[in-house]
A and B are shown apart, each in its own frame.
Chain A
Amino acid sequence: MHPPAVLRRLADALLLLWLVLTITFALIRMAPGDAATFLVPPSASAADVARVRTELGLDRSVAVQYARWMEGVLHGNFGESFALHEPVTRALADALPVSLGLGAASLALTFLIGVPIGMWQAVRRGRATDRILTVLTTVVYAAPSFWLALALVAVFTYGAATWGLPQSLRLPAFGIRAPGLELHGWAAAADLVRHAILPVTILTAVGAAGVARYARSSIADALGQDFVRTARSKGASPARVYFRHVLATVLPPLLVLFALSLPGIVAGSIFVEAIFAWPGMGHLMVNAIVARDYPVVMGAAAVYSALVLLANLAADVALPLVDPRRRA
């Protein structure tokens, strides 16, 4: 993709981001009841409510509120959280790395596990292994992550303790670090990894099932094509056929899927974070929604959308690199 084309796509993405922000703002203004009614205690007088409303600028016209909010956003200021009493940007900056770490680890494992499974199935199409794996991936794909997560917690947290399994098999199901311990260096890292095993496993299982299903069908399609027969008939080894010819055709769509999956995984971690109490974006957003903490909700929605738009852009830029047909 040529530099001007990238710039044009970037401009499109920024325009979309503005539209997203505007839609989010409009949605929240459309909701019945404003933030002031949630912020004051039920016993507050009408005068108190009015004072809070003035403080928040909610007594101005919608246009003024929108202009002020947009001005803030352009300066990188999403306002102050009602519930946390800190700038929204700080809350987001604390939460985003946690979710991105969880998402990146799961995404890498998703493809490292899902693609080989799908390829193995395509090669052994119709045999017993393929059938068993198809049933397995389809069932996992259909199961909600929060339900699978409960099952894992039951087995590896409560079950492992009840059955007296070794310490290494007892996995924590709450938070990202052991409470009450001052750990440093490797011990702290090991503690983080132990806490990450269950959430990452869940996100990876659901993701890998989907990727395996996709990889199986696209590789099976590719195996039926003429160029595979040609390669085989001129004596190419099976390994060369699979890794050189077949993989080259299925890699571009897989790469696009990879780029587009990151925001999906980060958004999908909402449930996993809710169950495992990971202090990430999903946790922040669900709490903000329950508390009607609108500035945080809007800020989080903006970050999620920015991730989607960045991922789309990355896919557009990367596609010509792996697919010569896309080099115009």
Chain B
Amino acid sequence: MSFWRRSSAVDRASVILLVLLVLGAILVPMLSRQDPLAIGDVLALRLLPPGARDVHGAFHWLGTDRFGRDLFVRMMLAGRVSLAVGLLGSLLASGVGTVAGAIAAWTGGVVDRVVMAISDALLAIPRLVLLLVCAALWRPGFTTVVLVLVATGWMGVARMIRAEVLGVRAQPYVDAARALGASSRRVLWRHALPNALGPAIVATTLGVGNAILLESGLSFLGLGIQPPEPSWGNMIAGGRDLIVAAPWVAIAPGLALVATVLACTLLGDSFRDRVAGDAGSTLRDRV
């Protein structure tokens, strides 16, 4: 637990917040007696303000949406989707980027040039645009969103890992490992990659927040997670025309989104300060 002891108050608060969110997302929909998807007595239950008790005596501490569904339970269920998409999207993108970058740097020649040309071309399309094109082509939903996030997010890490591996390749300990008879693959996976991984970890942490934002943006535009399955983005979209009559419908999922992205950004910043070198992009995609 040396990490915990060396961490700042901000780091700890971020970690606690994320843990609470994950626990809430797992437990609340499981334990709640209110079905976050079922639409019941709409006229009696719809748009109850936060802290209201409905005609059946159930307490809604974030209120209800236009179909009378409890917003807190829906928000936590949406948290499952948003957190899972963010984590999977960012982790898989970093994984693909690491493999592509390592192979490009280690093999060199034609493979290197092809991988880097594809990565340069994809980087030349703004990620949001590429994301929209891909999301529109396939049936929207959880798998599509994750795949699209991976397809549009691996290039940064690939370039970074490639540069790191090229640097590591020139280090004496790689020559030493070679001289001791280690195979090329072993040198790459056991010696070169672990030393190049720091920046990739930073990029992944910052990438989680970014991926969650991108997912919410896609879902807001109706190209991501489809209702009735809730995600923070489509919940905000659902509260869009109620922003005056029932502002809590859009405010609650937005706050959850901001809190999550904030925690991921702060943790990513903190990792970056520990890892030497310039890691990850400074500006996120503007969602």
Whether the pair A264, B117 counts as a contact (CB closer than 8 A) is no
How many A-B contacts if CB must be within 8 Å?
153
Asked whether A290 and B136 contact (CB < 8 A) given A16-B120, A16-B121, A210-B283, the answer is: yes
> B254 near A: Cβ within 8 Å?
yes
Whether the pair B286, A265 counts as a contact (CB closer than 8 A) is yes
The A-contacting residues of B in range 118-132, CB under 8 angstroms, are 118, 120-130, 132
Across-interface contacts of B266 in A (CB, < 8 A): 138
> B111 near A: Cβ within 8 Å?
no
Across-interface contacts of B136 in A (CB, < 8 A): 289-290, 292, 297
Across-interface contacts of B129 in A (CB, < 8 A): 267, 270, 285, 300-301, 304
Give the total of A residues in contact with B, Cβ under 8 Å.
59
Across-interface contacts of B236 in A (CB, < 8 A): 144, 146-147, 150
> B262 near A: Cβ within 8 Å?
yes
| SS class, residues of chain A in contact with chain B | helix
The A-contacting residues of B in range 135-151, CB under 8 angstroms, are 135-138
Asked whether A146 and B261 contact (CB < 8 A) given A31-B138, A267-B126, A267-B128, the answer is: no
> B64 near A: Cβ within 8 Å?
no
Most buried by B among A28, A146, A286: A146
The range of chain B's interface size is 35 or more
Residue of B nearest to A143 (CB): B258
Residue of A nearest to B236 (CB): A147
> A49 near B: Cβ within 8 Å?
no
Per the bound structure, the CA–CA distance linking A309 and B120 in Å amounts to 10
> A96 near B: Cβ within 8 Å?
no
> A87 near B: Cβ within 8 Å?
no
With A143-B258, A210-B283 already in contact, 17 other A-B pairs whose C-beta atoms are closer than 8 Å: A19-B121, A24-B133, A28-B133, A143-B261, A144-B217, A144-B220, A145-B286, A147-B250, A147-B258, A261-B283, A266-B126, A271-B286, A285-B129, A289-B135, A300-B129, A305-B125, A308-B123
A contact residues vs B (CB 8 Å cutoff): 16-17, 19-20, 23-24, 27-28, 30-32, 138-139, 141-147, 150-151, 153-154, 158-159, 162, 203, 206-207, 210-211, 213-214, 257, 261, 263-271, 274, 285-286, 289-290, 292, 297, 300-301, 304-305, 308-309, 312
